[in-house]
Structure 1
């Protein structure tokens, strides 16, 4: 899908571009390629002399080559944008080409950040002034989206913390808690990676000296927001590690209880085993060998030797 936008009365307005004539009648500042088909890729080549990269071409590119200026003088930027929905989080690669007064963007999935920017720019006059404003606001909105995701992580960890610290956990509940903590750790890590990538792209734009004074100040504010969020991710990592250790500790306690029960049972069964071993010896001169009450006496003695340790262990609280 090709989404083209131009500024009209200070608002972002979507336009239809299907032929070169449509392009000549308009002056788009932003052209967004959302999971383009092969025909749309050919149209991009025909209309804009732009060869759209495949996802493999910009998703696994080396970090040192994610921001550069190509032979035509256009700025090429490869960034990751966070996608967090339905309990699934991932970083979606996006390719940007900044050519003169037009921003081209390419992504394989519909991103909430792009939808939110379009919504704001349509309803707020003067929200955007040129293509560089579009790019900066995409990064700023992505930082806001990451902040919302971190709030979700914090809320989820609060719920996990209440569950872990207010009541004993069974092994099944502990396994469920660990699974939830792992999901939040993964999301927190993706947010941290996303913020790092955004900071690198903003720094590249500032070094190219293409931004005016207002845009430079906005870029600096985005970097400051990223730094504050980066510190928050560190705090969340510490909280995740604490809850992880606490949950694993409960699992170890449950396992120790099982081992303790086996240990108590082993100790309690040692005296009757000793008694049975003694009276199991078949020496001819054993005094109890022909005793009429020898068998019930041995059974009673073994029962008493089992009961006595259990009473002692119970009194000491070792059976809990």
Structure 2
């Protein structure tokens, strides 16, 4: 699918999106060409219009980290990794390529990041975007960072809820192990989400640094360069926030594992105490279970109840001692 965007002649800095129909010619006065899951014919159509090389899905997936940014014949190719479904339990990182030419911006994507829809919702309004390809790309990257901030904020709220659950002493003892197991699973999911967010932020930072150098060399307005620098600072603050959340996840993971160990120690302690409590009665029963001929207790009329009472006494005595020592 090819979605073209041109400036509205009646409005100021306002985009008019248009989805090309099969067989429709691609005009050359567009400001932004968005290729969403394009076919090979659509790639060739854009390549013929702009004289560029449009990467395929395989090219974008197999690209090496050192080849995420490159320039060819005055056209800059920048590929960033964006987090998709960041507010779910199954987030993924996908590649999106930005091709910046002198007359327009081309984006190639095989997914639908929410940041694109977020940017377009503002760009179709008067004053919602710039009037140059560089300004369009800057606005897109800014929307991507806003979306990343939302994902990190949502993850932070979920981590706070998990933290309260880990250190909540009101959880019933019987359900403590099950609760800790669910917490470990949730921490694993959050760790995966934060890890993918950091991977995405690092790739965006590389693109922003490259874009900043491009804008400086192209002598674009100072206001746009300052906007890119401000976006870069926001991105770096998000990276620090993601690092903080990673540290918090590690802390909660260590605390949860420590509580699991304590629960296991309590179970082992219970078995140890039970073994000690039943050891004296077992000793009494073993003594009176011997069948020697000269045992005087064998002739006692009340020997059997006496042995039972003795076993109860020697079983209760260790229990009372353990409670007195606060070992239970």
TM, length-normalised to structure 2: 0.88
Q: 1:269 to 1:20 in 2, by over 3 A?
A: closer
Query: Which of 221, 232, 241 is the matching residue for 2:241?
Result: 232
Q: Does 1:102 align with 2:104?
A: yes
Q: Does 1:210 align with 2:212?
A: no
Counterpart in 1 of 2:252? 243
- Equivalents in 2 of 1:19, 1:13: separation in Å? 19
- Equivalents in 2 of 1:23, 1:160: separation in Å? 52
Counterpart in 2 of 1:73? 74
**Contact 2:285–2:307, Cα closer than 8 Å, also in 1:** yes
Q: 1:216 to 1:309 in 2, by over 3 A?
A: same
Query: Which of 219, 224, 228 is the matching residue for 1:219?
Result: 228
Over the aligned positions, Cα root-mean-square deviation in angstroms equals: 2.3
The offset of 1:44, in angstroms, is 3.5
Aligned ranges 1:37-56 → 2 under 5 Å: 37-56=39-58
The offset of 1:21, in angstroms, is 7.7
The offset of 1:294, in angstroms, is 2.5
SS in 2 for 1:162: helix
- Equivalents in 2 of 1:137, 1:120: separation in Å? 10
Q: How many residues align?
A: 317
* 1:206-227 deviation line (CA, Å, top 9, x unaligned): 3342352333222211111112
* 1:92-124 deviation line (CA, Å, top 9, x unaligned): 210122222111111111111111111111113
Q: Which runs of 5+ in 1 are unaligned?
A: none
Counterpart in 1 of 2:324? 315
Aligned ranges 1:89-128 → 2 under 5 Å: 89-125=91-127, 127-128=129-130
- Equivalents in 2 of 1:168, 1:178: separation in Å? 19
Counterpart in 2 of 1:181? 187
Q: Which runs of 5+ in 2 are unaligned?
A: none
The offset of 1:199, in angstroms, is 0.9
TM, length-normalised to structure 1: 0.90
* 1:174-197 deviation line (CA, Å, top 9, x unaligned): 111222222222222222221111
